Amino acid sequence: MSPAVPLVFDTTHLVTRQGIVTPTGIDRVDTAYAHYLSGRPETLHAGVHYGLRGPHVFARERIADLSGRQLKRWHDGSETPHDDPQYATVHAFLTGASSIAAIPTRIAGRRKNPRQNRHIALDKMRQRLVRDRHVAIPQGAVYLNIAQYLLELPFLLRWLKKRPDVNPVFFIHDLLPLDYPEYFPAERKIRFPRILDTALHHAHGLIVTCQATGDRISAHLAAHGHGPMPIHVGHLPAGDRFRPVATRDPELDRSPYVMVVGTVEPRKNHLFLLNLWRHFAERGIPVPKLLIVGAIGWENEGVLDMLDRCEALRGRVLLVSDLSDGAYRHLLGHARALLAPSFAEGYGIPIAEAMTAGTPVIASDIAVFREVAQGLATFCDPLDGPAWKDAIVQTLDPDRQVERRQATKAYRAPQWGDYFDNVLDFLGTLKRT
């Protein structure tokens, strides 16, 4: 491992996202970095938060407290799902314990009470204003920004021009808003290029999740007259929490279902799956139930209209938002398969989670998914209806299911310790002024 280089970690996004119940992929990565690095006092020197006149700088211990509270909120230190008030409804849907009429087609997210909201808002305000005057950004430090939060406002990073000794490093999750603007809100067409320009203007190095994204960024740099830039590729681990379920639920084992995980937005291709399940229902084709886990995103009126109005889906498809981590892990471990029919992705952490849990994956045949799944999933073109129909129907075939589960045992699950050792090695190689 390279000699330790002093790091300062940007917590602006971490503070802003306090209080969320179900994390996005960016939330998970940002918090994982904060939690791991805050336990490395020989490496992490301080935290920083955007400020109008320059960054607020504060002690490493504050990052440990902030990330620890966030992780506790998600995980609750428990592997059991039963504390989640939504789990009973999901379980009844999957096992047929309730009548079809009694089961909704979607469960809205849980609401915080007003007192909790006020507490979180006040805590965010305090974290944004805090600074420890005895802490400063050391010479030759690496400034690490994981979430790209508010980078469309370049003045927030103008302090870096006054500190040429600092090595800024940015985590670039993907370039999808550039390549597939049709899948994103219109404002992203304006905002994302500004985010990317700010990062590339300051960056001395970049971190990405897969080689496909690294290659795409290298092509972007060359096309826009940038010189070559050090890029570190590291596959994100799911973590030990997603190891195979130790205690099986016999009712779930007897109740075949598949899952799709991710924000409900056009790029995730949920509408395609709903039309498949309507096709199955109308023709009496036996298939597992479909459990959709994800927040309600944007431009999803067609998906929500089908869930609300299509009677053929009632009792066969359920959308649940804000499912707790404990419930999610438990359900994923019992699913016949994870479905990932996305048109495009920057990584695919649910695939890593499913493979780590020993749950077979049926995924779009795109380069990123082949890389993340290590070629061990069943791959179908995201628009190939017959291929997806066959793959889904086969989840009820015991022999085929055993074969698919056996394939997951060859998956080499990335580990957080190795991941961060490699990141720190990379940061230690960056040029110091």
Whether 2 maps to a domain, the answer reads: no
The pLDDT of residue 22 is above 80? no
- Residue 64: inside a domain: yes
User: For residue 317, what is the domain's CATH number?
Assistant: 3.40.50.2000
pLDDT of residue 332: 96
304 inside domain: yes
Output the pLDDT for position 101. Answer: 63
- In this structure, what token pair is assigned to residue 303? 């998906």
In the predicted structure, residue 236 carries a pLDDT above the cut 90:
yes
Q: Give CA–CA dist 405/397, Å, rounded.
A: 12
pLDDT in tens, 381-392: 999 999 999 999
- pLDDT single digits (tens) 26-58: 888 999 999 999 998 888 999 999 988 888 898
* CA–CA gap between residue 389 and residue 120 (Å, rounded): 45
- Give yes or no: residues 187 and 197 share one domain: yes
Q: Cβ distance 170 to 142 under 8 Å?
A: no
CATH number for the domain harbouring residue 62: 3.40.50
* Residues 15 and 134 occupy one common structural domain: yes
Say if residue 152 is in the same domain as residue 38: yes
The verdict on 281 and 362 lying in the same domain is: yes
Distance of CA 315 to the CA centre of its chain: 28
Q: Work out the average pLDDT over 300-307.
A: 92
250 and 382: one domain?
A: yes
Least confident of 20-24, 94-98, 380-384: 20-24
Same domain, 285 and 217: no
Tell me which residue of 176, 180, 236, 240 sits closest to 209, measured CA to CA.
236
* Average of per-residue pLDDT across 208-222: 95
**209 and 282 share one domain:** no
Residue 150 lies in a domain: yes
Residue pLDDT, tens place only, 125-138: 566 666 667 788 99
Instruction: Identify whether the C-beta of residue 76 lies closer than 8 Å to the C-beta of residue 326.
Output: yes
Phi-psi region of 353 (alpha: psi -120 to 50; beta: other; left: phi over 0): alpha
Percentage of the residues of the chain whose pLDDT score is greater than 70 = 90
Confirm whether 327 is domain-assigned.
yes
My answer on whether 327 and 366 are in the same domain is yes
Indicate the pTM of the whole model: 0.90
**Do 364 and 343 form a contact (C-beta atoms < 8 A)?**
yes
What one-letter code names the amino acid at 357? Answer: A
* pLDDT attached to residue 121: 61
Q: Where are the beta strands (DSSP E) in 116-193?
A: 142-145, 167-171
Q: What is the mean pLDDT of residues 66-87?
A: 74
The helix or strand, by DSSP H or E, that contains position 363, with its residue range, turns out to be: strand 361-364
Mean pLDDT of 187-198: 93
Judge if 106 and 119 occupy the same domain.
no
User: Cα–Cα distances in Å, from 177 out to 187, 189, 195?
Assistant: 10, 7, 11
Domain that holds residue 97: 80-111+239-408
Distance (Å, rounded) from C-alpha 368 to C-alpha 372? 6
The pLDDT assigned to 1 comes to 45
Residue with the bigger pLDDT between 24 and 234: it is 234
Residue 221 lies in a domain: yes
Q: Which pLDDT value is given to residue 351?
A: 97
Q: What is the mean pLDDT of residues 340-344?
A: 97
Same domain as 173, residue 28: yes
Indicate whether 61 and 93 sit together in one domain: no
Residues 6+ apart with CB under 8 A from 38: 9, 44, 60, 61, 63, 64, 67
Q: For position 58, what pLDDT does the model report? A: 86
**Are both 64 and 188 inside the same structural domain?**
yes
Provide mean pLDDT across the span 214-221. 95
Count of domains forming the chain? 2
Burial class (CB in 10 A: 0-12, 13-18, 19+), 154: middle
Mean pLDDT rounded to a whole number for the chain:
88
pLDDT at 72: 79
What local confidence, expressed as pLDDT, does residue 77 receive?
Answer: 45
Structural domain contains residue 268: yes
- Comparing 14-18, 43-47, 406-410, 413-417, the range with the smallest average pLDDT is 14-18
Range with the largest mean pLDDT of 7-11, 31-35, 270-274: 270-274
Q: For the chain, what is the total number of helices (H) and then of strands (E)?
A: 17, 14
Q: Is the dihedral of CA 167, 173, 174, 177 positive or negative?
A: negative
